[in-house]
Amino acid sequence: MQRPIVGIIGNSHMITDTYHVHAGGYYCSHAISKAANCTPVIIPTDPDLVGIEELMTHFDGFLFTGGRPNVHPEEYGHEPTEAHGTFDRARDKVTLPLIRALTERGQPYFGICRGFQEVNVAYGGTLHPEIRDLPGRMNHRMPPDGTLDEIFELRQTVTFTEGGVFHRLLGETRVRTNTLHGQGILEPGNRIVIDGTAEDGTPEAIHVDGAPGFTLSVQWHPEFNADKDPVSVKLFGAFGDAVRAWAGEHKHPVLRSA
């Protein structure tokens, strides 16, 4: 049986400062294939190369990934500063309208890190460039050195709303996760429900209120060890189930002609 196809949002990157590529992390592809049981395909996220409608037609679901470039602060009415880091305006022009269109259509997507932040911005929310600078907040940035296991160490507790979407899905109100981000939600968007927070109050799990489909997003990186970490297994498993349900009801032309 052919697996449904998940479009993985690619990031713009320069190889040796000369060759332009669109790339995606191995762990994201691995998570979609092994934990969600779908076929992963990286999307060149540039409005000159792809259109919103064609993406929604040819893919069954979408993974909005993390990435070093941040959402440009002009997208949420703030002035850019050095603290905001680097940007990928081409990705902004694709992901923000795509998120809104997917939500209204009920087509499933899963947001991670920058993707989590994109979902908030898509609905009018704002971001803070350095969460650790806010009073009482911890340093959520990745450790500067160490092995992958040390970088992705489970070093924070996320608490979910009792009876909320994440609690019902995971069967727990508190889980341990990694944390590897500098920016974070300052003000939630109009329809954004903050359903989980870290010990210091930083939003870590959200969904879109009233959405007819899967819109879960998390600030941490569940793609690492996704087919073994119990939290990641449930998150990607539920996402895969949602994508399969969508694909079953909306056969796109590639599957129909196979």
**Residue-level pLDDT at 252:** 53
Distance CA 160, CA 21 (A): 38
**Residue-level pLDDT at 87:** 78
Whose tokens are 């990157």? That residue is: 13
Q: Is the pLDDT of residue 84 over 70?
A: yes
Residue 173's Cβ-count burial label (10 Å; 0-12, 13-18, 19+) is middle
User: What's the angle, vertex CA 13, arms to CA 9 and CA 15, rounded to 5?
Assistant: 140
CB 242 within 8 A of CB 214: yes
169 pLDDT band, cuts 50/70/90, is: very high
Domain boundaries, the chain: 5-257
Q: Tell which residue, 55, 34, 28, has the closest CA to residue 44.
A: 55
Phi/psi of residue 135, each to 5°?
-55, 130
For 212-239, the pLDDT digits (tens) are 999 999 999 999 999 999 999 999 999 9
Distance CA 175, CA 173 (A): 7
**Residue-level pLDDT at 258:** 36
Q: What is the CATH number of domain 5-257?
A: 3.40.50.880
- DSSP bridge pairs for 156: 177
Phi/psi of residue 143, each to 5°?
-55, 140
**Residue-level pLDDT at 254:** 42
Q: Is the pLDDT of residue 108 over 50?
A: yes
Phi/psi of residue 168, each to 5°?
-65, -40
Tokens of 129: 């460039």
Mean pLDDT of all residues in 15-19: 86
The full 3-state SS of the chain, as one line of letters, equals: CCCCEEEEECEEEEECCCEEEEECCHHHHHHHHHHCCCEEEEECCCCCCCCHHHHHHHCCEEEECCCCCECCHHHHCCCCCHHHCCECHHHHHHHHHHHHHHHHHCCCEEEECHHHHHHHHHCCCEEECCHHHCCCCCCCCCCCCCCHHHHCCCCEEEEECCCCHHHHHHCCCEEEECCCCCCEEEECCCCEEEEEECCCCCEEEEEECCCCCCCCEECCCCCCCCCCCHHHHHHHHHHHHHHHHHHHHCCCHHHHHC
For 182-193, the pLDDT digits (tens) are 789 999 999 999
Mean pLDDT of all residues in 55-71: 93
What value does the mean pLDDT of the chain take?
Answer: 91
